[in-house]
Structure formats: structure tokens, C-alpha cells
Amino acid sequence: MSALAKAAYFWRSAASGLRHAPFVHFIAVTTIAIALFSAGLAQAMGRMVDALIGSLGGEVQVTVYLSPELDEEGAEVLRERMVAASGGRATLVTPRAALARLEKELGDLGEALAHLPENPLPPSLELEVPPERRTPGALKALAQELRAMPGVTGVDYGEEAVERLSAISKALRYGGWVAFAVVLLATVVIVSATLQLAIYARRGEIEIQKLVGATDRFVKAPFLIEGFLQGLLGAGVALLGLLTFERLLGPGLASLFSFLVGSGGMVPLLEPDIALELLAAGCALGLGGSFIAVGRFLRV
């Protein structure tokens, strides 16, 4: 009963703290909301880049050029080995089929190919790599393994394009994390400063609490709850902001970027797991700020 009464007191005291210093808490809630709103947007952007890489990655095809001396039986053996090595699918393209494809691609100019004394194109295997092996590292390792096979004269998988795209994605991700860390730190500092003001405003109350026998934890608990509530409120405002942003600007952005990600490629700004993550981040921010504030300022 006593613990329940104390818990009730902590929450009442925290709520009263929010009511009695609305401006100070407004600043903290707004700061948390802006930080989480930005984080939510950045995360949606990251997911959009991922989707873009995924969609481009779907077109990643590894072409393995085979020695012209290799007969069909030898090519089939190689095909089976490559399927086993890559875990994907492999299609044998004979020199004749390759020439026919080239002729078709060249259109009117394709007729010129008929005058060649012999077919210059080597036989090849077109490998469709499963999604989990489409990363630059995995593709590079696969290419090396394939190159080492007897009868293989070359491997091409658009190495440069894949690596550039991956570098851009990595830069965006790391840049995002660094920016997020800076915003996070600034937010914790601001939340902590606002709570220090709140503690200062209630120093008379704290003095009396100490006189009548309050423990350190008893004095600190309402301020920690205040920080938690600030975080929760800030996260709530950020979620509302993201929802509003999606409603108002989502359709416009989707049409703007449809050339990149396709008509159905826009990722939603808010998914339940992300909303939960943002709520948890808000509470952690508020609690973190209040921990610092009570630790530094409330030496009871």
C-alpha cells in the first residue's frame, strides 16, 4: 500500500511539475519532438535509399564468359558448378544466341553482323544471384570464385556501378547516424537544462522534503518521471507531425520520385514498429536528460 501511495505521489508530483512550469517543459517537449521528427524523416529516407538499391540490385546479373573451346557438355558442367556456388539460377547463352541477341539490339545495323567471317562472341553463362548475395562484397567474392574455374575467361557484374551505389548508401547511412547523434546529444543537453530549471524552481519543496525525511530516490523520482513524460509527449508530437507530413506532402513526393523508385516504391513514413521505436527513443531521451539533471543538480 505504501509503495502504491508513493508511486501515486510521484506521478501526481510530476504532473504538477509539468503544469506549474509549462514554458520550460514546452521547450523540452518541442526539442524532443523536432529531434524525433527529423529522425523519423531521416529513417524514411534511409529506407527509401534501401528500396532503391534493392530495386537496382534486382537487375544485378553476373555474366560469365567461357572459353570458345569449351563444348556444350563442358559448359553444362560449369553451369551446374556455378549454380551450386551462387545459389541462384544460370542460363547458358551459346555464341549463336548471343549473336542473335546483339543483332536484335542493333536493329537496322544488325545486318552488318551477317558479313562477319565467323562469330566473335564467346559462349557465356548468365547468373541471376539471389538477393542475399547482391551486396558488393558478396558479388566480388563470387566473381573471384567464378574466375578461378577452368574454362572461364572473364566475369562481369557491373562492379563499378554496384560499388558506387553502395558507397552512396553507406555515406548516407553514416552521415545520418552522425547527424542523429549530434541532434540526440543536443536534445539531451536541452532537456537536462530545462529540468535543472524545474528543479531550481522547486528547491523550496525539495528542502522541505529533505527536512521531513524524504530519501534521495523519493526526491528524484518525480523529476525522472517528468523527463519521461516530456519524452513521451515529444514523441507523440513528432508522430503527429510525421502523420501530418505524410498526409499533406506524401502524394506530391511520391509523384516527384516515382522516376527513381517506381510508382509503388515510396515507403510509408510511419509504420507501427517505427512509431514504437520513436516513442521508446522519446522516453529514453527524456529519461536520459532528467538523469543528467538530477545527477548534476540534485545532490540531496
- Is 1 or 148 the residue whose CB approaches another protein more closely? 1
Direct distance between the N- and C-terminal alpha carbons of the chain, in angstroms, rounded to an integer? 26
Which residue bears the cell 538523469? 291
* CB 291, min distance to another protein, A: 19
Q: In whole angstroms, how close is the CB of 202 to another protein at the nearest point? A: 9
Residue 52: CB minimum distance to another protein, A: 57
Q: How far is the CB of 207 from another protein (least distance, A)?
A: 7
Q: Cβ closer to another protein: 7 or 77?
A: 7
Burial class (CB in 10 A: 0-12, 13-18, 19+), 272: exposed
Closest to 16 in 3D by CA, of 201, 189, 192: 201
Closer Cβ to another protein, 94 or 209, answer by number: 209
Q: In the complex with another protein, which residue's Cβ is closer, 10 or 157?
A: 10
**Angle ∠(88,126,120) on CA atoms, nearest 5:** 165
When the beta carbons of 140 and 210 are compared against another protein, the nearer one is: 210
Contacts of 116 (CB under 8 A, 6+ apart): none
| Helix, strand, or coil (residue 167) | helix
| Spatial separation of the C-alpha atoms in residues 91 and 79, rounded to whole Å | 8
Number of H helices and E strands in the chain, helices first, is: 9, 4
Could you tell me the smallest distance in angstroms from the CB atom of residue 4 to another protein? Answer: 8
Instruction: Give the residues lining the site for another protein (CB under 8 A).
Output: 1-6, 8-9, 20, 204-205, 207-216, 218
